[in-house]
């Protein structure tokens, strides 16, 4: 349905609101003829019906966002009409019951039978219903709704930011949802205030009607010499008619306000919810029909009315049970549940995907994520992902952040593909003082271990921060604790973060500069799965893949000879030897390493021939000896201030790297072929020399 052209033009030029204000002021100030009052009273009744029906058919409160302003305008319109009608009643009421127009005459005579005492009683009852029941209840609901909407804002904003970080929504959708959350809070706040308009309107209606009755009696008797009985009957009928004309639209507007603030979010309007849920259970209807039918059998009761009503309710129950597909009165609990849910079957939308990387926080850590409370954890996590991409060589999956009320209030949990890989606690408003091994003295606070590296630490107040730093402690805030722990776990699980999705995004990014290079390798020479496995092998041993050009060149050179991922990983490591040494010993020409004792190396080579490159079947005594001797050599290497690097022959490198990775994760195992010619090797100690 299209709006009239003149109304569209007024709205487009912004003249609607000023015109309404001019009309309201004109009704208050200027004398208005009776026929004009009839037009405005009719318009007021029509407007109240429109507002009530719009409120009933509204699905979401924000769909009727202008409602608080409508409440104000309709209230002022009714009050201005009361002022205009009062002026006409007092000045021309002595001329007859139609002095203030046909609408007031109809309400004063036909609706209450011309009996002013009946009119007074009806008016008082309507006012009590409006003031005590509808308006008071709607005002209370609006007040509570405003409070809950404001309290829920941080959680809703956090959910939006979490979906944005997880890539589930775009920036435009996030901005739209943030706007809706803010508008919802503003709407309920405005409704809390606008409900006071309706309450004040009910009070004003009572006062105006009483003033009209007293004022009309005085004017009729003193100025127009009417008898007391004639004056009180004439002016009371006019005053009651005027009050009813205003009170009935006021009651409808109050009902609209109550309907808007009391509805629960649903995809159905109030009428659909009313029919669907009130008539939901056929057993309830059968029992009701039986009770009504029994009441109709009581002597003196209107038997026909009760019997007909019981028959209608019983028929409705039968049809309801039949439509549900069950025998009348025998619906099972399962089918009732399906009927209550709308009978919808499960769908793929009910299947929530497992997030690759997720962070769950306890309820007292909401403030770290909520930017409205100066929470900077989201910004720090973005920084962690950016640093990871710059150092490792690919963009990791987005971190999905959510709240978990099952966690302790100050706890957080980090999960990878649905499995927890780390957990810790953080204290908002406090600082974690970490002892890196050189701190002197002790601090007053909660003694804990750093969740990222296990170092001894203490949670301290902000006032102790400078003191702790002067004592040699590393002091970080609550958000940094969580972000650092996340960064450390991402570094440990780098290989698992490189899924097919991230690899495809990396190749698409590289194809912008060298499309032919990527096209010739994948999938012509090498399947995507083999490339992913090679890169994961590199990441598993701490080798960054920033130099993808060298990796692709090397794979393109050797992919025609072999498709084995382990073999291709070896040749790629040799090509990346300079970059690997740069990670281990940056800025030095001499590389301090550990080496194998000759006799020990021969034993390992013999074991390799029998167990294969995996080293999974190595003899237990030799395995214990290998771990023990390597651990001792690592300890000596670290005491000298060197990175623990074990240099072995190419034949042993894969086996030793896989075997020692779990027990000694800090150890880096290199082969002679991976050492660049520009670097000098310095053997600091031998592994297994004592044996």
Answer yes or no: CATH 1.10.8.540 is held by domain 498-575.
Answer: yes
Burial group, residue 345, by CB count within 10 angstroms (0-12, 13-18, 19+): exposed
Summarize the confidence of residues 620-648 as an average pLDDT. 89
Helix axes 228-262, 136-165, angle to 10 degrees: 20
Phi, psi of 399, rounded to the nearest 5 degrees: -90, 120
**Whole-angstrom distance, CA of residue 282 vs CA of residue 314:** 9
The fraction of the chain above a pLDDT of 90, given in percent, is 26
| Torsional sign, CA 137, 143, 144, 145 | positive
Which has the closest alpha carbon to 401: 428, 429, 364, 362? 362
Report whether 651 contacts 605 (CB < 8 A): yes
pLDDT at position 370: 83
Task: Return phi, psi of residue 610, to 5°.
Answer: -95, -30
SS3 of residue 402 by DSSP: strand
φ, ψ (nearest 5 deg) of residue 126? -60, -40
Q: Are 593 and 640 in contact (CB under 8 A)?
A: no
**Across-strand partners of 296?**
none
Q: What is the mean pLDDT of residues 521-529?
A: 87
**pLDDT the model gives residue 328:** 41
Q: Pick from 6-10, 27-31, 388-392 the range whose average pLDDT is largest.
A: 388-392
Helix (H) or strand (E) holding 158: helix 136-165
For residue 459, the cross-strand partners are 432, 446
Residues 684 and 668: their CA atoms lie apart, in Å, by: 15
Query: Is pLDDT at 228 greater than 80 in this prediction?
Result: no
- 279-283, 381-385, 476-480, 606-610: which has the minimum mean pLDDT? 279-283
Domain extents in the chain: 22-267, 282-330, 357-493, 498-575, 583-687
Question: How many whole angstroms separate alpha carbon 318 and alpha carbon 301?
Answer: 26
For residue 36, how many other CB atoms are within 10 A of its CB? 15
Helix (H, G, I), strand (E, B) or coil at 30: coil
* Token pair of 95 as six digits: 């001329």
Mean pLDDT lowest for which of 10-14, 126-130, 186-190, 579-583? 10-14
Identify the CA nearest to 162 among candidates 328, 404, 346, 389.
404
Q: How confident is the model at residue 338 (pLDDT cuts 50, 70, 90)?
A: very low
Domain 583-687 has CATH 3.40.50.2300: no
- Residue 44 CA to residue 190 CA, distance in Å, equals 23
Q: Which residues of 114-136 are buried (b: 16+ CB within 10 A; e: fewer)?
A: eebeebbebbeebbebbbeebbb
Q: Where are the alpha helices (DSSP H) in 263-393?
A: 270-278, 282-296, 303-323, 333-340, 366-369, 377-392
As given in the structure block, the two tokens for residue 531 are: 């490339």
In sequence order, the 6+-apart residues with CB closer than 8 A to the CB of 184 are 61, 62, 149
| 529, 536, 605, 671 from 566: Cα distances, Å | 13, 11, 19, 15
Task: State the residue for tokens 């927890």.
Answer: 420
Distinct helix (H) and strand (E) counts, the chain: 27, 12
pLDDT tens-digit profile of 104-146?
777 666 556 666 677 777 777 777 777 676 767 666 766 766 6
Q: Is residue 309 pLDDT above 70, yes or no?
A: yes
Single pTM value for the model: 0.54
Whole-angstrom Cα distance, residue 430 to residue 436?
Answer: 19
| CA atoms of 460 and 431, how far apart (whole Å) | 5
Read off φ and ψ for residue 255, nearest 5 degrees.
-65, -40
C-beta separation of 528 from 503 below 8 A: yes
Report residue 456's pLDDT band, with 50, 70 and 90 as the boundaries: very high
Distance in angstroms between the alpha carbons of the first and the last residue of the chain: 95
Residue-wise DSSP of 404-438: -TTS-TTEEEEEETTEEEEEEE--TT-EEEE--S-
Condensed to tens digits (0 to 9), the pLDDT of residues 564-605 reads 999 999 999 999 999 998 888 887 788 999 999 888 888 888
Cα 135 from chain centroid?
32
In the sheet with 645-648, reading across from the earlier edge strand, the strands are 668-671, 645-648, 590-596, 680-687
**Fold type of domain 357-493:** Glutaredoxin (3.40.30)
Tens-place pLDDT, residues 48-106:
888 877 777 777 767 777 777 777 788 788 788 878 877 777 777 666 666 666 777 77
- Tokens of residue 367, six digits: 């403030």
**Spatial contact of 399 and 448, defined as CB atoms under 8 Å apart:** no
Which H/E stretch holds residue 594? strand 590-596
Spatial CA neighbour of 197 closest among 150, 142, 241, 122? 142
Given a cut of 90, is residue 488 above it in pLDDT?
Answer: yes
CA distance 127 to 250: 9
Question: How is residue 103 written in tokens?
Answer: 């609408």
Greatest mean pLDDT among 345-359, 545-559, 603-617 lies in: 545-559
- Using the predicted structure, report yes or no on whether residue 344 has a pLDDT greater than 70: no
* C-alpha–C-alpha distance, residues 305 and 299, integer Å: 13
């Amino acid at each position: 349905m299209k709006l009239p052209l003149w109304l569209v033009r007024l709205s487009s030029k912004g003249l609607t609101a000023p015109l309404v204000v001019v009309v309201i002021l004109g009704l208050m100030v200027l004398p208005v003829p009776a026929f004009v009052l009839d037009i405005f009273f009719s318009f007021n009744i029509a407007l109240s019906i429109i507002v009530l029906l719009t409120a009933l058919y509204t699905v979401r409160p924000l769909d009727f966002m202008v409602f608080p302003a409508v409440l104000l305008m309709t209230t002022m319109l009714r009050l201005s009409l009361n002022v205009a009608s009062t002026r006409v009643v007092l000045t021309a009421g002595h001329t007859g019951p139609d002095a203030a127009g046909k609408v007031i005459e109809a309400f004063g005579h036909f609706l209450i039978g011309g009996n002013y005492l009946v009119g007074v009683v009806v008016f008082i009852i309507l006012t009590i219903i409006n003031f005590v029941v509808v308006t008071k209840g709607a005002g209370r609901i609006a007040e509570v709704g405003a409070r809950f909407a404001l309290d829920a804002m941080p959680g809703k904003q956090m959910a939006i930011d979490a979906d944005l970080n997880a890539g589930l929504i775009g920036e435009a959708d996030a901005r739209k949802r943030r706007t809706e959350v803010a508008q919802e809070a503003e709407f309920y706040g405005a409704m809390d205030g606008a409900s006071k308009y309706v309450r004040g309107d009910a009070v004003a209606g009572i006062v105006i009607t009483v003033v009209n009755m007293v004022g009309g009696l005085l004017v009729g008797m003193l100025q127009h010499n009417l008898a007391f009985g004639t004056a009180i009957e004439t002016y009371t009928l006019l005053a009651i008619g005027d009050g009813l004309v205003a009170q009935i639209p006021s009651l409808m507007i109050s009902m609209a306000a109550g309907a808007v603030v009391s509805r629960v979010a649903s995809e159905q309007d109030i009428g659909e919810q009313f029919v669907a849920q009130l008539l939901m259970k056929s057993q309830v209807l059968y029992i009701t029909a039986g009770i009504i039918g029994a009441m109709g059998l009581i002597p003196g009761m209107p038997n026909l009315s009760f019997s007909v009503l019981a028959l209608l309710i019983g028929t409705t129950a039968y049809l309801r049970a039949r439509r549900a597909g069950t025998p009348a009165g025998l619906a099972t609990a399962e089918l009732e549940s399906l009927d209550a849910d709308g009978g919808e079957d499960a769908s793929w939308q009910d299947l929530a995907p497992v997030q690759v990387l997720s962070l769950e926080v306890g309820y007292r850590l909401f403030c770290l994520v909520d930017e409205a409370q100066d929470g900077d954890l989201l910004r720090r996590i973005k920084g962690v992902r950016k640093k990871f991409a710059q150092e490792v060589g690919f963009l990791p999956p987005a971190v999905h952040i959510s709240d978990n009320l099952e966690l302790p209030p100050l706890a957080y949990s980090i999960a990878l593909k649905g499995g927890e890989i780390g957990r810790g606690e953080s204290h908002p408003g406090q600082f974690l003082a970490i002892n890196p091994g050189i701190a002197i003295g002790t601090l007053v606070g909660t003694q804990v271990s750093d969740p990222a590296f296990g170092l001894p630490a203490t949670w301290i107040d902000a006032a102790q921060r400078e003191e702790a730093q002067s004592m040699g402690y590393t002091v970080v805030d609550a958000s940094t604790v969580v972000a650092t722990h996340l960064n450390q776990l991402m570094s440990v699980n780098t290989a698992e973060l490189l899924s097919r999705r991230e690899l495809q995004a990396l190749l698409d990014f590289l194809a912008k500069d060298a499309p032919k290079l990527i096209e010739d390798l994948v999938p012509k020479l090498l399947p995507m799965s083999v490339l992913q496995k090679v890169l994961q092998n590199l990441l598993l041993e701490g080798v960054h893949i920033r130099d993808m050009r060298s990796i692709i060149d090397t794979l393109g050179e050797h992919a025609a000879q072999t498709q084995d991922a382990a073999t291709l990983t070896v040749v790629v490591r040799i090509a990346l030897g300079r970059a690997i040494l740069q990670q281990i010993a940056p800025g030095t020409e001499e590389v301090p390493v550990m080496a194998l004792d000759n006799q020990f190396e021969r034993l390992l080579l013999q074991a390799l021939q029998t167990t294969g490159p995996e080293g999974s079947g190595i003899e237990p005594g030799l395995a214990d000896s290998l771990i023990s001797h390597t651990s001792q050599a690592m300890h000596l290497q670290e005491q000298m201030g060197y990175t623990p690097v074990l240099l072995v022959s190419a034949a042993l490198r894969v086996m030793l790297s896989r075997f020692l990775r779990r027990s000694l994760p800090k150890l880096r195992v290199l082969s002679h072929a991976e050492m660049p010619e520009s670097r000098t090797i310095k053997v600091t100690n031998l592994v297994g020399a004592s044996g």
